[in-house]
Amino acid sequence: MNIDDFKDTLNDKMVLITGAGGGIGFETAKCCAIMGAKVVLLDIDREKGGRAQKTIEAVCPGHSEFYEIDLADENSIYQMRDYMLNKYGCPDVVFNNAAVLHLGEIGQVSSKDWDHGYLVNLKAPVLLTNCFLEEMKKRNTGTFVFVSSSGAVAHMGAYELFKTAQAELSNTLSMELEDTEICSYTISPGLVKTDTAVKSIEAVAGSMNITLDEFYEMNKDHIISVEDAALGFAVSLLRAKEYDGQELGSIQVLHQLEKQNTDTDTCDPVLLGKIIATYEEQYSGWHKRNIFERQWVLRDFKKCVGMTADEVYAAMEDMKNCGGRLSAQNRQLLKSMILYWEHQYQLLQGFEKDRQKLEENSNIIRGWIADIKNCIGK
């Protein structure tokens, strides 16, 4: 699978990418241009940004423009907004990729570096959202993408704290926009040997008292190239509606695309019918709850499964007529349902205080999980 497989899939789209002068940001911008989008590359480094634009123009003439910006400067962001709206109108995609990395133990990182990390790694994505959200609402379409990180890592607090906060920003935005066609999701590149990543990995390896080579050897099965990470970033835009409200990784996107091209699998039609009936019964029950409970359940469901309850209901209806032959997409849906029921099982353990009810309901959920596993042969 390569970017040429997705030519013209982003035709007539305008994509704004921060930190696009090099690394994954640049490769993502190039992928989007090859896919047909007009790309505006935002970067603080004029030399890198200009070089990146020339490289993309050599491959896709007329599909890119470089704009110099300091994301730590609020006025610089507003000036860019005015420029964009006056020249192109509202972008279809705002891709928050840029980051600054300040390393050191908590208490050793200077106040200045904490402030700088906050301004670039969190405040800038908030401001960029503010810049274009109202215009997206007017036309009821658009996508916000946030490149986050996985969580707490020693010596990287001034980076990780703000990058992980982007995931909460994205999730909150998705909830507030759930009745619109505007999407928001979080994606991480995985373990990629960019210049920024190498600096962070050196710090992590040091905190583990191992060498850099030892770290790479331990994680060799999880390392992906800059090009593959960027491909995952770019093609994720094609499934923005599906990924809305999700936190995923670039390699996850690539694996899902590969699965779409596999042959269908066969499932026992009777067992599949039982699985569908179980879901329909739960779906009906959710909609009978009061509005606050219903909203919480449906949001929790979408976060676990990657689709709305209505979308899964429609997919289940289609499966009724498949004769037990599951497409790769429906097979993946059933796998996601396993994760959801496992999630419900864990919630039940902390919620139900009546031991008899706990045992009864736990057995019911374990039965639902077993049905799906038996159906798809997992």
Taking only the tens place, the pLDDT of each residue in 295-344 is: 889 888 988 888 889 989 988 988 888 877 888 778 888 989 999 999 99
Percent of the chain with pLDDT over 90: 55
Question: Which pLDDT belongs to residue 263?
Answer: 45
* DSSP H or E segment with residue 321: none
Is residue 22 a contact partner of residue 99, using CB atoms and an 8 Å limit?
A: no
Residue 290 backbone zone (phi > 0: left; psi -120 to 50: alpha; other: beta) = beta
Residue linked to tokens 């909609």:
287
Question: Which pLDDT belongs to residue 218?
Answer: 60
**pLDDT beneath 50, residues of the chain:** 263
Residue type, 296: W
d(CA 229, CA 37): 18
pTM of the model: 0.71
CA angle 123, 124, 130 (to 5 degrees): 90
Q: What is the CATH number of domain 3-258?
A: 3.40.50.720
Comparing CA positions, the residue from 341, 344, 339, 328 lying closest to residue 376 is 328
Residues of the chain with CATH 3.40.50.720: 3-258
Here the tokens at position 62 are 């007329």
Burial 90-124 (b: 16+ CB within 10 A, else e): bbbbbbbbbbbbbbbeeeebeeebbeebbbbbbbb
Question: Which pLDDT belongs to residue 217?
Answer: 60
Here the tokens at position 120 are 């670039």
d(CA 169, CA 347): 24
pLDDT tens by residue, 246-288: 888 888 888 777 765 554 567 888 899 999 999 999 999 999 9
